[in-house]
Chains A and B, each alone.
Chain A
Amino acid sequence: MGAFPKQVKIVEVGPRDGLQNEKMADHTEVLKGIQKFPGINYPVLTPNLKGFEAAVAAGAKEVSVFGAASELFTQKNINCSIEESFRRMGGVLEAARAAGIPVRGYVSCVLGCPYEGKISPAKVAEVAKKLYSMGCYEISLGDTIGVGTPGLMKDMLSAVMRDVPVAALAVHCHDTYGQALANTLVALQMGVSVVDSSVAGLGGCPYAQGASGNLATEDLVYMLTGLGIHTGVNLQKLLEAGDFICQVLNRKTSSKVAQASCKL
């Protein structure tokens, strides 16, 4: 069996990706209001130049841009082709480079698309390579509707890893079909050492009402810790943060670890 990385960086997307189903209009207030601890990055999503400029003005030190491995998804999501989306992102990347601000690139639909169905690993590799060559320091590969299974993850990563070094890759698995941890495990076995997740599994799947979305950070940390992989994350504090936000949102946690823990 492939050896696991000794350390995995967890990228917590709960506050943005998870709460996106709620509104992000208070972005400036939030970014200015939070305590910014040393050693912690607080990236913000900036789909266009205007958003980028506002983010920088509000104090952002890292930004993210979103591409997709599906033409139809790109059309429906941001009303343009993949090629045109690269041009728009290019604007942000140029400005970010000038301002010395690192940019993370996301690729959606890497294991399937709600409109196109199957997505070829070659297409994912092409989009990932483009974002990397445009200057993104890391590429997060997202299974947007959670349809992927470990074999598909393996095939997709094999293709992408020919063009982008594995150290610059992250996986962003959705748990809509319960496959997120198994898919993440395979990614780890292939050398990926950055994983996106959302505390309490915040964020439903917009394409299937009531279906789950993000992988719960608590469940991810539980697995990594059990594997002896260093994360630097305190599970107890994470559980507390998850409990806090679930109470505010008046919803049950999607994390199995949280469900098991609070009853012990």
Chain B
Amino acid sequence: ESGQLPELPKYVKVVEVGPRDGLQNERVIVPTDIKIEFINQLSQTGLSVIEVTSFVSSRWVPQVAAGATEISVFGAASESFSKKNINCSIEESMGKFEEVIKSAAQMNIPARGYVSCALGCPYEGSITPQKVAEVSKRLYGMGCYEISLGDTTGVGTPGSMKRMLECVMKEIPPAALAVHCHDTYGQALANILTALQMGVNVVDSAVSGLGGCPYARGASGNVATEDLIYMLHGLGIDTGVNLYKVMEAGDFICKAVNRTTNSKVAQASFSALGS
């Protein structure tokens, strides 16, 4: 019976979203030089993808001029969320994304697609897996090389993660999928494990679990990169990341934003050192 647990990937790519997603949702504004230092520290950890910042304009020129080598577009599996967040319907947003992705492609700049509310919406409540698959398929069809499926409010559990992925994987190969789980209800690692068991091998996370949940004040948001790496390494999965260096970067940024870390691994490790 025990031999029937699904095989896990041998390598997982960890996409670090702390500097953008994380800092964007922190209360304290971080000075530019600190952000740069933070990102430079993360560059020393072995992380191969670090989401640096956000150029929210729909015009891509400033991004390219600043040296961007990759762009991201944010869709949602919920009409209400789309309207409240970017002031247009899902259909309208797809039109805009198509333009951006096409232009970027002409300059050989790859695009990553995000789908918010993949496991639930703060306004609509439950979201059907079919809707998530539909939106993901469109973004993939437009040329996004990877689709990151986000549990925006962290309400998902392993069952809903499994059902959603089963549906999405009918339209998109697992190799092109990533999961972006929030830890608002403490479910992130369990949900990520489920995704890994289904063949996903790209996971978004934020060092120190930076970034609260904007929909529930005081609640936590992103899953902590340290805790994710701890699990992956414990599972014998290669990430290329040095956990200790990530913890150092986490310690640096927490001091800069004047907050305690959301990473349990960091809490345990620094406590042990201190005692």
- Judge whether B234 and A148 touch: CB under 8 Å: yes
Residues on B with C-beta less than 8 A from A259 are 218-220
Which of A176, A179, A190, A260 is close to B154, meaning CB atoms less than 8 Å apart? A260
- Judge whether A219 and B230 touch: CB under 8 Å: no
Binds B, one of A30-38, A66-74, A98-106, A204-212: A204-212
Instruction: Tell yes or no: A25 within 8 A of B by CB.
Output: no
Q: Mark B164-202, 1 if CB is under 8 A from A, else 0.
A: 000000000000000000011111011011100110000
Name the residue of chain B whose CB is nearest to the CB of A212. Answer: B264
- Judge whether A227 and B219 touch: CB under 8 Å: no
Known contacts A150-B234, A151-B235, A256-B220; decide if A178 and B264 are in contact (CB<8 Å). Answer: yes
Residues on B with C-beta less than 8 A from A184 are 190
Residues on A with C-beta less than 8 A from B187 are 181, 219, 222-223, 226
Which of B185, B197, B271 is close to A256, meaning CB atoms less than 8 Å apart? B185
Name the residue of chain B whose CB is nearest to the CB of A152. Answer: B234
Which of A177, A257, A264 is close to B265, meaning CB atoms less than 8 Å apart? A177
Which of A176, A205, A227 is close to B158, meaning CB atoms less than 8 Å apart? A227
The minimal Cβ–Cβ distance linking A225 to chain B, given in whole angstroms, is 8
The minimal Cβ–Cβ distance linking A180 to chain B, given in whole angstroms, is 9
Q: Mark B245-275, 1 if CB is under 8 A from A, else 0.
A: 0000000000000000001110110011011
Main secondary structure of the interface of A (DSSP, over half): loop
Instruction: Tell yes or no: A11 within 8 A of B by CB.
Output: no
- Judge whether A256 and B230 touch: CB under 8 Å: no
- Judge whether A186 and B189 touch: CB under 8 Å: no
Instruction: Tell yes or no: A28 within 8 A of B by CB.
Output: no
- Judge whether A185 and B194 touch: CB under 8 Å: yes
Residues on B with C-beta less than 8 A from A90 are none
Residues on B with C-beta less than 8 A from A157 are 2
Name the residue of chain A whose CB is nearest to the CB of B223. Answer: A178
Pick the most buried of A176, A256, A263: most chain B CB atoms within 10 A of its CB.
Answer: A256
- Assembly CA distance A158 to B2 (angstroms): 6
Looking at chain B, what size class is its interface with the partner chain?
35 or more
Instruction: Tell yes or no: B157 within 8 A of A by CB.
Output: yes
- Judge whether A178 and B271 touch: CB under 8 Å: no
- Assembly CA distance A119 to B238 (angstroms): 23
- Judge whether B230 and A179 touch: CB under 8 Å: yes
The minimal Cβ–Cβ distance linking B104 to chain A, given in whole angstroms, is 36
Q: Mark B85-126, 1 if CB is under 8 A from A, else 0.
A: 000000000000000000000000000000000000000000
Residues 214 to 231 of chain B near chain A (Cβ within 8 Å):
216-220, 224, 227, 230-231
Pick the most buried of A191, A228, A262, A263: most chain B CB atoms within 10 A of its CB.
Answer: A263
Which of A158, A182, A228 is close to B193, meaning CB atoms less than 8 Å apart? A182
- Judge whether A2 and B186 touch: CB under 8 Å: no
Looking at chain A, what size class is its interface with the partner chain?
35 or more
Residues on A with C-beta less than 8 A from B264 are 175-178, 211-212
Instruction: Tell yes or no: A48 within 8 A of B by CB.
Output: no
- Judge whether B186 and A257 touch: CB under 8 Å: yes
Residues on A with C-beta less than 8 A from B275 are 208-209
- Judge whether A186 and B216 touch: CB under 8 Å: no
Instruction: Tell yes or no: B213 within 8 A of A by CB.
Output: yes
Which of B2, B154, B220, B267 is close to A212, meaning CB atoms less than 8 Å apart? B267
Instruction: Tell yes or no: B31 within 8 A of A by CB.
Output: no
- Assembly CA distance A255 to B263 (angstroms): 14
- Judge whether A149 and B230 touch: CB under 8 Å: yes
- Assembly CA distance A39 to B208 (angstroms): 43
Instruction: Tell yes or no: B46 within 8 A of A by CB.
Output: no
A sample of 18 more A-B contacts (CB under 8 A), given A186-B5, A256-B220, is A148-B234, A149-B230, A150-B193, A150-B231, A150-B234, A154-B5, A176-B268, A177-B227, A178-B264, A189-B5, A190-B1, A209-B274, A211-B272, A223-B187, A223-B190, A256-B183, A260-B154, A263-B216
Can you name 25 A-B residue pairings with CB atoms under 8 Å?
A1-B194, A149-B234, A152-B234, A176-B268, A177-B265, A178-B231, A178-B263, A179-B189, A179-B231, A181-B190, A182-B190, A185-B193, A190-B5, A208-B268, A208-B272, A209-B274, A210-B274, A216-B186, A222-B185, A226-B158, A226-B187, A227-B157, A259-B220, A260-B154, A260-B185
